[in-house]
């Protein structure tokens, strides 16, 4: 078997492992195995690509592998679960930056055809937008910059001029590839456009943005694959881009947004001003909550970002086990955009070894909600806000939510009466069947657990 044939065979094997691993990632029960299989496929792809390029001196590559592995391992071990969305955003950004640099490096190979120049321009453009857009998303999630939508008069005009400038500089770059002035202009405009595309998007919509930027990083890698004529990079980039778009559509549907709104940032500039909601708040102590739970036959737990902040997932699992020992059925209702990234709650509950069979999607839990004795809302706000159904003046009106207010009793675990990440008041807090259990969610649940014990 010739070397070229062996390399192509390795690419086919790696592509098959990517597809199979991606399929396994569709279920938490097989996700770990899917991640491992995909990693093996990437190892095969990297080795085959190095052999394909005929690289002899590997010392810089070895240094990069060692340094990158150390940084990646430390980041994965040290990052808090509450900061996982920020890390994912940065990973998307670095993927885009890598594609930009790959496209840039192709220019030093000498005379290039028009098709190659176009793919180089696309990898630079999409990679640059992904990088700075992801950095802005990280800033909003980490709250190092305002998480609200940042808009100003004439913003759409500025964005339109940026698009025209990008198109013009890309055309001039393809016509005059030896004049790197247009290359630098294209890089600068792509960086600027990435910033301008994300700043008008509010922090509450970051799950959509993260999945979209993930798709962008895949498209940038695909363009870079065409630029260097590497089949496996094209396949991998296409898979990431396609899966990211599919996930974006799921997120959009869960937030009642259209994909067009996401692409043009129209949904991020929606005003979050709403009519103030007044009513009587009914607080409850942990001991009284125990008496209600002790008599319950069905309990639904609705987790949100507050559970991640309090690191309460292990306490929730302990409470679940005590309730089940008491003959109670415990279910978990997972909203597609609960938390700050897609699958955030699934990751937290999996860490606490909560069975995936107990995790119900929004439609499934809503069908069961009228028969639920107690719905425990832990740090969730916008995804359980009945204003999405009842108040046409609400900025989130029409957004599909988990109908916890239809349960017989609702316990809302919060530190205060502050609104959620979207800044929208929640009439759930004033419903007659709602009781507010104020304090740190982990401490509150632990207190209830001690009552059971």
pLDDT digits (tens, 9 = 90+) for 42-69: 999 988 888 887 766 778 888 988 998 8
pLDDT of residue 274: 47
Judgement on whether residues 193 and 316 belong to the same structural domain of the protein: no
> Is 18 within the bounds of a domain?
no
Residue 387 pLDDT > 90, yes or no? Answer: no
Judgement on whether residues 214 and 323 belong to the same structural domain of the protein: no
Query: Higher-confidence residue: 269 or 43?
Result: 43
d(CA 160, CA 124): 19
- For the segment 156-166, the average pLDDT, to the nearest whole number, is 92
Q: Is 294 helix (H, G, I), strand (E, B) or coil?
A: helix
| Domain boundary pick from 234, 269, 304 | 269
Judgement on whether residues 237 and 93 belong to the same structural domain of the protein: yes
382 is catalytic: yes
Judgement on whether residues 117 and 200 belong to the same structural domain of the protein: yes
| Domain boundary pick from 203, 237, 269 | 269
The rounded percent of the chain whose pLDDT value lies above 70 is: 92
Judgement on whether residues 309 and 379 belong to the same structural domain of the protein: yes
> Is 137 within the bounds of a domain?
yes
- For the segment 276-300, the average pLDDT, to the nearest whole number, is 87
> Is 186 within the bounds of a domain?
yes
Judgement on whether residues 182 and 252 belong to the same structural domain of the protein: yes
Give the angle 82-87-88 at the CA atoms, nearest 5°: 105
pLDDT of residue 266: 45
- For the segment 357-374, the average pLDDT, to the nearest whole number, is 93
Number of domains the chain is built from: 2
Q: Count Cβ atoms below 10 Å from residue 288 Cβ, excluding itself.
A: 14
> Is 31 within the bounds of a domain?
no
Give the pLDDT band (50/70/90) at residue 421: low
Judgement on whether residues 256 and 310 belong to the same structural domain of the protein: no
Contacts of residues 261-266 at CB distance under 8 Å and 24 or more positions apart, as own/partner, are 262/208, 262/209, 262/212, 263/212, 265/159, 265/197, 265/198, 265/200, 265/201
pLDDT of residue 204: 65
Residue 294 pLDDT > 60, yes or no? Answer: yes
- For the segment 285-308, the average pLDDT, to the nearest whole number, is 91
Which range marks the domain in which residue 130 is found? Answer: 79-269
Which of 111-115, 337-341, 417-421 shows the lowest mean pLDDT across its residues? Answer: 417-421
The rounded percent of the chain whose pLDDT value lies above 90 is: 47
The length of the chain in residues reads 453
Residue 24 pLDDT > 60, yes or no? Answer: yes
Say which CATH number the domain at 374 has: 3.40.50.1220
Judgement on whether residues 331 and 242 belong to the same structural domain of the protein: no
pLDDT of residue 357: 87
Nearest to 272 by CA among 106, 395, 151, 381: 395
Distances in whole angstroms, Cα of residue 311 to Cα of each of 8, 184, 315, 352: 47, 45, 8, 10
> Is 157 within the bounds of a domain?
yes
* Torsion region of 353: left, alpha or beta (phi above 0 gives left; psi -120 to 50 gives alpha): left
Q: What is the pLDDT of residues 120-143, one digit of tens each?
A: 999 999 999 999 999 999 998 887
- For the segment 90-102, the average pLDDT, to the nearest whole number, is 94
CB 341 within 8 A of CB 207: yes
- What's the whole-model pTM score? 0.80
Q: What is the pLDDT of residues 218-250, one digit of tens each?
A: 999 999 999 998 889 999 999 999 998 888 888
d(CA 15, CA 410): 48
Query: Higher-confidence residue: 261 or 422?
Result: 261
Judgement on whether residues 303 and 208 belong to the same structural domain of the protein: no
pLDDT of residue 267: 41
CB 284 within 8 A of CB 438: no
CB 290 within 8 A of CB 327: no
Residue 422 pLDDT > 70, yes or no? Answer: no
Give the pLDDT band (50/70/90) at residue 29: confident
CB 332 within 8 A of CB 298: no
Q: Which among 52, 111, 363, 382 is annotated as catalytic?
A: 382
d(CA 95, CA 240): 11
Judgement on whether residues 249 and 398 belong to the same structural domain of the protein: no
Query: Higher-confidence residue: 340 or 259?
Result: 340
Judgement on whether residues 192 and 114 belong to the same structural domain of the protein: yes
| Domain boundary pick from 229, 244, 269 | 269
Judgement on whether residues 232 and 338 belong to the same structural domain of the protein: no
Contacts of 296 (CB under 8 A, 6+ apart): 323, 328, 373, 374
- For the segment 163-177, the average pLDDT, to the nearest whole number, is 94
pLDDT of residue 380: 84
> Is 147 within the bounds of a domain?
yes
> Is 211 within the bounds of a domain?
yes
Give the pLDDT band (50/70/90) at residue 260: low
- For the segment 311-337, the average pLDDT, to the nearest whole number, is 92
> Is 400 within the bounds of a domain?
yes
- For the segment 34-44, the average pLDDT, to the nearest whole number, is 93
Q: What are 60's two structure tokens?
A: 């810089």
pLDDT of residue 268: 40
């Amino acid at each position: 078997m010739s070397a070229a044939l062996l390399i192509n065979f390795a690419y086919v094997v790696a592509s098959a492992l990517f597809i199979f691993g991606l399929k396994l990632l569709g279920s938490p029960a097989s996700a770990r195995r899917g991640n491992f299989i995909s990693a093996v496929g990437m190892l095969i792809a990297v080795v085959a690509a190095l052999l394909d390029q005929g690289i002899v001196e590997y010392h810089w590559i070895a240094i990069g592998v060692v340094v990158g592995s150390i940084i990646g391992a430390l980041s994965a071990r040290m990052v808090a679960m509450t900061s996982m969305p920020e890390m994912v955003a940065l990973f998307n950004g670095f993927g885009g930056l890598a594609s930009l640099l790959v496209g840039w490096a192709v220019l030093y190979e000498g005379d290039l055809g028009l098709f190659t120049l176009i793919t180089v321009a696309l990898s630079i453009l999409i990679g640059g937008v992904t990088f700075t857009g992801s950095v802005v998303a990280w800033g909003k999630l980490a709250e190092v910059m305002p998480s609200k939508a940042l808009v100003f008069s004439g913003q759409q005009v500025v964005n339109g001029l940026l698009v025209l400038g990008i198109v013009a500089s890309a055309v001039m770059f393809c016509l005059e590839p030896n004049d790197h002035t247009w290359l630098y202009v294209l890089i600068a405009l792509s960086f600027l456009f990435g910033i301008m595309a994300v700043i008008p998007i509010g922090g509450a919509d970051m799950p959509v943005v993260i999945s979209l930027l993930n798709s962008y990083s895949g498209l940038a890698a695909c363009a870079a694959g065409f630029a260097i004529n590497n089949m496996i990079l094209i396949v991998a980039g296409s898979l990431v881009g396609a899966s990211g778009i599919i996930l974006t559509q799921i997120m959009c549907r869960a937030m009642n947004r259209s994909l067009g709104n996401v692409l043009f940032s129209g949904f991020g500039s929606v005003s979050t001003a709403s009519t103030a909601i007044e009513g009587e708040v009914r607080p409850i102590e942990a001991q009284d909550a125990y008496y209600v739970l002790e008599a319950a036959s069905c309990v639904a737990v609705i987790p949100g970002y507050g559970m991640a902040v309090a690191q309460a997932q292990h306490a929730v699992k302990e409470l679940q086990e005590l309730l089940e020992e008491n003959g109670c059925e415990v279910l978990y209702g997972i909203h597609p955009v609960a938390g700050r990234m897609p699958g955030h709650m699934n990751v937290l509950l999996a860490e606490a070894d909560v069975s995936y069979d107990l995790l119900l999607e929004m439609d499934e839990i809503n069908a069961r909600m009228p028969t639920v004795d107690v719905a425990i809302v832990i740090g969730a706000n916008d995804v359980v806000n009945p204003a999405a159904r009842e108040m046409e003046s609400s900025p989130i009106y029409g957004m599909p939510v988990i109908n916890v207010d239809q349960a017989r009793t609702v316990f809302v675990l919060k530190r205060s009466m502050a609104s959620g990440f979207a800044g929208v008041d929640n009439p759930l807090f004033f419903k007659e069947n709602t009781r507010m259990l104020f304090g740190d969610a982990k401490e509150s649940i632990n207190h209830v657990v001690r009552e059971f014990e």
